């Protein structure tokens, strides 16, 4: 037996176990991890199989997010009379899986490349997460079916496109049963979702001077309102030098726009908690809710 894209050998139980399991959870076909076999495929056994199995189950239960319970099995095998632990991992449906304390970052997400476990690029992490969110809320039936989409039509017309009679189906605003889903609800002219922007005087949350909500309308329109507000707050600072006046914005406009759009797109709306932005004298902070 040799290591492959679906088989990993570990001489003993180490701190890297979660990384290996996550890589297989994020791999379409899953895989198996053998503890007590060295990299050459030679069985050396484990000293306390029962204790190690309990530790493994506890670690995978508490250290990996989303929950991988039901996606792995820990069994004991004998090879040449030696105790070997085999962890069978199935490919998960809620990719990307990650180390809970390290969040959805390149330090916390891993993928299988050949026989190696490698950090997952942030771009792929974001793509998998966006797909997971889309798949999740697309299956939830909207509590209202009398939704209108005039604001969405105006947005498309402004980009030179038009929505035809099948736009709800083409934009995946219907669930499997043909009802408007939660995506449709968020993009409708009227809904119960709003995005909050709080502004403070100073660098902490002691003195709140402004608290606004943008929403209860199409998420597309609400996003534009948020971007317009933050653009207004993004003041230009001027510095007089011997040669010329140097102007600089508080925040890079392109980076700010990308951060705002990412926060809104990647937010987990299934818990009905919209993203929130907070403006301080020296920074902007934003909070978006992600599936745990």
* pLDDT 10s digits, 154-208: 999 998 888 999 999 999 899 889 999 999 999 999 998 899 999 999 999 999 9
Nearest to 148 by CA among 170, 130, 133, 163: 163
Structural contact between residues 274 and 193, judged by C-beta atoms closer than 8 angstroms: yes
- The alpha-helical segments, DSSP class H, found in the chain are 17-25, 49-63, 122-137, 150-158, 167-170, 182-187, 219-233, 253-265
Percentage, residues of the chain above pLDDT 90: 68
* pLDDT 10s digits, 205-230: 999 999 999 999 999 999 999 999 99
In the CATH scheme, what architecture does the domain 7-120 have?
2-Layer Sandwich (3.30)
* pLDDT 10s digits, 5-62: 999 999 999 999 999 999 999 999 999 999 999 999 999 999 999 999 999 999 999 9
Domain ranges in the chain are 7-120, 130-187, 194-287
The model's pTM: 0.57
Give the distance from CA 41 to its chain's centroid.
36
Grade residue 291 by pLDDT with cuts at 50, 70 and 90: very low
């Amino acid at each position: 037996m040799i290591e492959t894209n679906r088989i990993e050998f570990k001489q003993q139980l180490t701190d890297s176990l979660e990384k290996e399991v996550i890589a297989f959870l994020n791999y379409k076909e899953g895989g198996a991890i053998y503890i007590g076999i060295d990299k050459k495929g030679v069985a050396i056994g484990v000293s306390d199989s029962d204790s190690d199995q309990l530790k493994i189950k506890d670690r995978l239960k508490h250290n990996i997010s989303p929950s991988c319970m039901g996606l792995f099995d820990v069994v004991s095998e004998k090879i040449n009379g030696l105790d070997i632990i085999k962890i069978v991992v199935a490919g998960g449906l809620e990719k990307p899986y990650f180390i809970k304390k390290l969040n959805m970052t390149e330090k916390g997400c891993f993928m299988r490349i050949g026989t190696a476990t490698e950090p997952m690029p942030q771009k792929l992490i974001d793509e998998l997460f966006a797909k997971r969110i889309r798949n999740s809320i697309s299956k939830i039936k909207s509590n209202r079916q009398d939704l209108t989409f005039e604001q969405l039509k105006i947005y498309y017309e402004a980009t030179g496109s038009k929505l035809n009679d099948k736009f709800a189906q083409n934009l995946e605003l219907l669930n499997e049963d043909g009802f408007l889903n939660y995506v449709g609800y968020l993009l409708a002219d009227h809904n119960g979702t709003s995005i909050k922007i709080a502004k403070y005087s100073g660098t902490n949350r002691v003195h709140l001077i402004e608290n606004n909500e943008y929403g209860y309308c199409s998420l597309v329109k609400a996003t534009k309102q948020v971007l317009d507000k933050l653009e207004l707050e993004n003041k230009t600072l001027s510095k007089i030098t011997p040669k010329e006046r140097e102007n600089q914005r508080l925040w890079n406009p392109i980076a700010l726009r990308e951060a705002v759009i990412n926060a809104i797109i990647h937010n987990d709306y299934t818990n009905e908690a919209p993203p929130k932005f907070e403006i301080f004298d020296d920074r902007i902070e934003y909070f978006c809710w992600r599936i745990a």
